[in-house]
Amino acid sequence: MTPATTGAEPMAQAVTRLRGAGLRVTAQRMAVLMVVAESLGHLDADTVRERAQQVTGRLSLQATYNVLHALTDAGLVRCTQIAGHPARYETERHDNHHHFVCCRCGDIRDVACSVGAAPCMEPQLPEGYLTQEAAVTFWGLCPGCQATAPAS
């Protein structure tokens, strides 16, 4: 029987991924990486800190940001900036996906890139500019908010 990769120990996976990215393995980095990997959603730094603290013990918000930045720079975590929201963190899967944000409740959903590889759109720019990525945010109402409030 071949061992299922999905069943692999999260801790062992975190160590492998940190080392693979050339990062020194620390308890804080492991905890933050595991918290982000376990979440299917998009976490803000405060939520990451709260959950990581349950593994490592006390973690300051600044330390959390430092770890998140290191993981983002190393390509393990993806940081998404959405206007009016704190930065959100999720596992970097290099799938070039976009986001749908509900204007009322702030629910964030992944939207598969409809084109494929980055950059999926070519903006009109003067000669000499090189576009590497397009990050699209779709705004609207989630099903729950459509049911509870009339669209304005």
- Residues annotated in a binding site: 102, 105, 142, 145
Binding of Zn ion by 111 (CB under 5 A): no
Cα dihedral: 110, 113, 114, 117 (round 10): -170
Binding residue for Zn ion, selected from 55, 111, 120, 145, defined by CB under 5 A = 145
Cα(84)–Cα(80) distance, rounded to whole angstroms?
A: 12
Length of the chain: 152
Cα(113)–Cα(142) distance, rounded to whole angstroms?
A: 19
Cis peptide before 119 (omega within 30 of 0): yes
Q: How big is the site for Zn ion, counted in residues (CB under 5 A)? A: 8
Tokens of 121: 């759109």
Quick note: the x/- pattern for Zn ion over 49-88, rule CB under 5 A, is ----------------------------------------
Which residue, 63 or 104, is less far from Zn ion as judged by CB? 104
Q: Give residue 59's identity as a one-letter amino acid code.
A: L
CB of 121 to Zn ion, least distance (A): 18
Query: What residues line the site for Zn ion (CB under 5 A)?
Result: 90, 102, 104-105, 107, 110, 142, 145
